[in-house]
Amino acid sequence: MRGWHGAAAPPGRDTSVRTLETTMAGKPKLHYFNGRGRMESIRWLLAAAGVEFEEKFIETPEDWDKLRSDGHLMFQQVPMVEIDGMKMVQTRAILNYIATKYNLYGKDIKERALIDMYTEGIADLSEMIIVLPLCPPDQKEAKIALIKERTTDRYLPVFEKVLKSHGQDYLVGNRLSKADIHLVELLYYVEEIDPSLLANFPLLKVISLTAIRREGSHLPPQDLTFGLKPHNCLFSIPFCPPELAARG
Amino acid sequence: MATKPKLFYFRGRGRMESIRWLLAAAGVEFEEEFIETTEQYEKLLKDGRLLFGQVPMVEIDGMVLTQTRAILSYLAAKYDLYGKDLKETVRINMYTDGTLDLMLMIAVAAFKPPAEKEESLALVVKRAKTRYFPVFEKILKDHGEDFLVGNKFSWADIQLLEAILMVEELDASVLPEFPLLKAFKTRISNIPTIKKFLQPGSQRKPPPDSHYVEVVRSVLHF
């Protein structure tokens, strides 16, 4: 069995060690809207690391006001994750913490620099996709066209080339890292927009199947969607604070 | 003998300035190649040195690094400015992500039409006064130490000073309501490497002017 680079317990049917671990430590608690937005990549990373988490959804203006007035949001923003006794904010800070804790961040600072570089590129494209539901209808077509262009001309070729150049299964250091997880997440979004965008990237099609399947082989694919939000969910939330809407 | 890091960017602050600050504060000498023409930029692209076709780019330790945050995190770790353990590192990340958000608002505002630009910059000052500075004032108050994290100079302190100075350029009256930040500003400015960087003739860049905006627009075609 391929080495497990997640938390202490190896994958398998017996998850009692991990459950004990998380029960004692308390599961991470995610504070966000009931939708993808900026929290989704955190959900993916926790899920890929085999970490169960709870969610408290912000559903009304009162929820939002309370969270802020209780002083739980450092910069008055979400995502916020309660984990290990901290109220963590800033998506990247949270992701980097989880990646370090669960050994998904490379073996040294040079590998980490590569992982960060790839992650930032993925985040730039993902950002364009995340804010799409908030885009005014008359601008949407142009935005989608730009996303498609960036996907096939700027971002996917880079990752195809990286995989081709070393012939390994993972982007960095021949083992699973957060970069692979973020990339797989992105590929799912690209596929949702237009599956034909992936046509010219054979190695990326493979990574989306093997990267998560192998390391998390005890989980059938459906388990990965635990806590993961359906497409366009951000649209359907009844309450969207003005700052979030303004970002689109 | 190790070669100096080399920075590739426009002759101005933009997204490279935080990297210049971090290197300078760490006492690391660096070289710069300024992009002034489309031809230069296209050569960088053609030579495959810009991973996603973008700058900032930094050549360091045999690597060709792009993506501002990737570069900053590498430098912070390399020069021991990233905390002593994971909990300190995450706090540094939270604080620097916040100050970087604020500074990028300023960088982006330079490219907006005049009315929008004024509005954006007013929002930056408002955010600084109501969202960011109060947080850092409270952090300093709660632990009473000289530095933001772990009683030790870190990337978080460098970036906060940078942000304070940038906001003061927009509105000189912001700091008086934050006495601890005011003292922090003096204290960090007096660190020898930073003091040197704040002197005229250093590699610190001035605020964006119309010439800078023109060059960037013409090179990047927007």
Distance in angstroms (rounded) separating the CA atoms of residues A112 and A105:
6
pLDDT greater than 50 at residue A12: no
CATH of residue B178's domain is 1.20.1050.10
Domain that residue B107 falls in: 86-191
Yes or no: say if A122 and A179 are a contact pair by the CB < 8 Å rule. Answer: yes
**What is the ipTM for the molecules in this complex?**
0.95
Given this model, what pLDDT does residue B119 score?
97
Mutation target to probe the A interface, by most A beta carbons within 10 A, among B15, B45, B61, B73 is B73
Residues B74 and B113 in one domain: no
A17-21, A207-211, B19-23: segment of lowest average pLDDT: A17-21
Q: Is residue B98 part of a domain?
A: yes
Residues B73, B105, single domain; the answer is: no
The pairing of strands B31-34 and A54-57 is unpaired
**Which pLDDT value is given to residue B1?**
52
| Most confident segment among A25-29, A202-206, B145-149 | B145-149
Q: Chain B contacts of A76, Cβ < 8 Å?
A: 131
Q: Per the omega criterion (within 30 degrees of 0), is the bond before B56 cis? A: yes
Mean pLDDT, residues B108-130: 96
Cross-strand partners of A197: none
Within this chain, do residues B20 and B115 fall inside the same structural domain, yes or no?
no
CB A207 within 8 A of CB A163: yes
User: What residue of A is the nearest CA neighbor of B74?
Assistant: A113
Per-residue pLDDT at A5: 37
Residues B203 and B187 in one domain: no
Q: Do B86 and A97 touch (CB under 8 A)?
A: yes
Q: What is the pLDDT of residue A145?
A: 97
Please give the sequence-ordered ranges of beta strands (E in DSSP) within A53-174, or none if there are none.
54-57, 80-83, 86-89
| Cβ-Cβ contacts under 8 Å, A155 against chain B | 52
* AA letter at A212: I
Residue A53 burial (CB count, 10 A): 18
Number of domains in chain B: 2
Rounded mean pLDDT of chain B?
Answer: 97
pTM, two decimal places: 0.88
- Chains A and B: how many Cβ contacts under 8 Å? 79
| pLDDT at B184 > cutoff 50 | yes
- Residue spans of alpha helices (H) in chain B: 17-25, 38-46, 68-78, 86-109, 114-127, 133-143, 155-170, 179-189, 192-197, 210-220
From B204's Cα to the closest Cα of chain A, the distance in A is 24
- Collect all residues of chain B within an 8 Å Cβ-Cβ radius of residue A75: 98, 101, 131-132, 135
Residue A224 reports pLDDT greater than 80: no
Residue A244 has pLDDT above 80, yes or no: no
Q: Looking at the structure, tell me whether residues B98 and B118 fall in a common domain.
A: yes
Q: What per-residue confidence (pLDDT) applies to A228?
A: 56
Does residue B186 share a domain with residue B91?
yes
- Distance from A222 to chain B by nearest Cα, in Å? 31
pLDDT over threshold 80, residue A214: no
Range with the poorest average pLDDT among A121-130, A146-155, A198-207: A198-207
Q: What is the CATH number of domain A109-218?
A: 1.20.1050.10
| A120 to B67: CB separation less than 8 angstroms, yes or no | yes
In-domain check, residue B217:
no
Instruction: State whether A74 and B68 contact (CB < 8 Å).
Output: no
When pLDDT is cut at 50, 70 and 90, the band that residue B222 belongs to is: confident
Same domain, B28 and B61: yes
Q: Is the pLDDT of residue B174 over 70?
A: yes
CB contacts of B70 in chain A (<8 Å) are: 113, 116-117, 119-120
Give the pLDDT band of residue A23 (cuts 50, 70, 90): very low
Q: In the predicted model, is pLDDT for residue A14 greater than 90?
A: no
- B interface test, pick of A95, A112, A120 with most B CB neighbours within 10 Å: A120
| pLDDT surpasses 80 at A242 | no
Min distance A92 CA to chain B CA atoms (Å): 8
Tell me how close the Cα of A27 comes to any Cα of chain B, in angstroms: 17
CB distance A147 to A129 below 8 Å: yes
Confidence tier at A206 by pLDDT (50, 70, 90): confident
Q: What pLDDT is stored for residue A230 in this prediction?
A: 54
Q: Are residues B102 and B59 in the same domain?
A: no
Residue A205 has a pLDDT of 81
